[in-house]
Structure 1
Amino acid sequence: MIDIVQEYWKSLLWTDGYRFTGVAITLWLLILSVVLGGMLALLLAVCRVSSNKFLSLPVWLFTYIFRGTPLYVQLLVFYSGMYTLEVVKGSEMLSAFFRSGLNCALLAFTLNTCAYTTEIFAGAIRSVPHGEIEAARAYGFSRFKMYRCIILPSALRIALPAYSNEVILMLHSTALAFTATVPDLLKIARDINSATYQPFTAFGIAAVLYLIISYVLISLFRRAEKRWLRHTKPASAH
């Protein structure tokens, strides 16, 4: 095991000398997909709770499709299927984009986490105390200002515990990136297994690295919950 770590530690953590690999690619996929998906989900969540069916129904359909199909299938559609379409092959920009396994994996992960996060945020928006909304209306807040100053900040605090679980699940989902030949952590572990024929050691090292990343993420979210959800905890008896 020590020999394997000494020989492959660079590939496992960040580079094989020619490209970024391992933990570096895994974190890149996780952070970028969560940030992009989360930003898009904020807008879609507002549409999702709208009483206007022209806004809410397309968002419902989007979340239904991406939550109702396996992420693995979505990744295969983007990586193997999109490039066969004439509209993609006929466009130089689209052709170049879908030719990259990294781009396809990032797109699939972003849309998938966006769908789940949209429903998380929409549920949190519906859970905002009605009294806060009525108070904002009484002060003459516009709808935009009410969302910006009252509803969204409160909803994000409510959504934090569920959203932290979604981020951890996305970390686990990045292990599918090897399907698109992306040199993520699992892909490097598979390569090590192929070279050494020691699957327990190769995949065991990968498991430990995933556990470390998960521990760091869970710790960060716990600190965030302690700071922003302090008011939801019962006061200690004196």
Structure 2
Amino acid sequence: MDFPFMYEALMRLLPGIPMTLQLAFIASAFGVFFALAAALMQLSGNVVLRSIADFYVFCIRGTPLLIQIFLIYYGMGQFDFIRHSFMWPILREPYWCAIFALMFNTGAYGSQIVRGGLLSVPRGQVEAARSCGMSQVLIYRRIILPLAIRQALPAYGNEVILLLKATSLASIITLMEITGLAAKMISETYRVVEVFLVAGSLYLLINFILSRGVAVLEKRLMRHTAAERPSSRVAARGAA
């Protein structure tokens, strides 16, 4: 193993980290809204809305992300009305094509996580909120969404990690993130093992930090349950 070369590879791949993080976090930030909208549409009583959400989730989950990136990057320019629309300055850029593809993809997968979180909210709490005179919007804002977020956060954290790794596919459309820089360096040096070991280590480090951050956030959101456990144990001992 050529460690001096691996250090050189590290120095050349480090500039790709900001691009990787931008793709992951911008796509996940907008993908949350797609996930929430699709989940609410699937749970609604409107057959049309539910069918649209089901079709969207089915198509995205049933096709590879690479094909979705190609369809947006190469396919949008095939339509005259898109080339002459206000969206064309955005859709002709590989950066935004990758963002849209990742956003639609994580929105479909995330919708099932959000949907599960919404379904996990106890009906008794919702009925209690209604009996207090809360409107449906206020019930969602104060009762349903906070509880659903707590339930869905661990799984959604995994989805963000998967999305970050999926950003490596953006190198196919010329974006110079970590994998794109690694592929360029390999084409120059033909040192596949060392370069990809360094690239994999960078992804591993980023995902470790991200997973720790999600764990800390989950602990903060669930701290009230940790405070309840000792009292429940004391009560159980007293009853015994």
**Does TM, normalized by the shorter one, top 0.5?**
yes
Which residue is 2:190 aligned to? 197
Task: Point out the structure with the larger helix share.
Answer: 2
Give 3-state SS (helix, strand or coil) of 2:21's partner.
Answer: helix
Name the amino acid aligned to 2:80: E
Q: CA deviation at 1:117?
A: 1.0
Which residue is 2:117 aligned to? 124
Q: Which of 55, 62, 69 is residue 63 of structure 2 equivalent to?
A: 69
Which residue is 1:101 aligned to? 94
Q: Deviations over 1:187-238 (max 9, x none)?
A: 1011111111111111110000000001001101111222223455693667
Which residue is 1:149 aligned to? 142
Name the amino acid aligned to 1:175: S
Q: Matched residues in 1 for 2:41 and 2:127: separation?
A: 20
Q: Which of 30, 33, 43 is residue 37 of structure 2 equivalent to?
A: 43
- Which moved further from structure 2: 77-86 or 209-218? 77-86
Summarize the alignment of residues 1-238 of structure 1 with structure 2, pairs less than 5 Å apart: 1-4=2-5, 7-14=8-15, 22-91=16-85, 93-230=86-223, 235=229
Q: Which structure would you say has the larger RCO, counting Cα contacts within 8 Å and 6 or more residues apart? A: 2
Name the amino acid aligned to 1:134: E
Q: 1:87 to 1:4 in 2, by over 3 A?
A: farther
Which residue is 2:238 aligned to? none
Give 3-state SS (helix, strand or coil) of 1:235's partner.
Answer: helix
Aligned CA-pair RMSD? 1.9
User: Residues 154 and 218 of structure 2 are in contact (CA less than 8 Å); yes or no, is this contact kept in structure 1?
Assistant: yes
- Which moved further from structure 2: 209-218 or 190-199? 190-199
Name the amino acid aligned to 1:179: I
Q: Matched residues in 2 for 1:4 and 1:94: separation?
A: 43
Q: CA deviation at 1:40?
A: 3.0
Q: CA deviation at 1:46?
A: 1.9
Name the amino acid aligned to 2:173: A
Name the amino acid aligned to 1:78: I
User: Residues 39 and 115 of structure 2 are in contact (CA less than 8 Å); yes or no, is this contact kept in structure 1?
Assistant: yes
Structure 1 residue ranges without an equivalent (≥5): 15-21
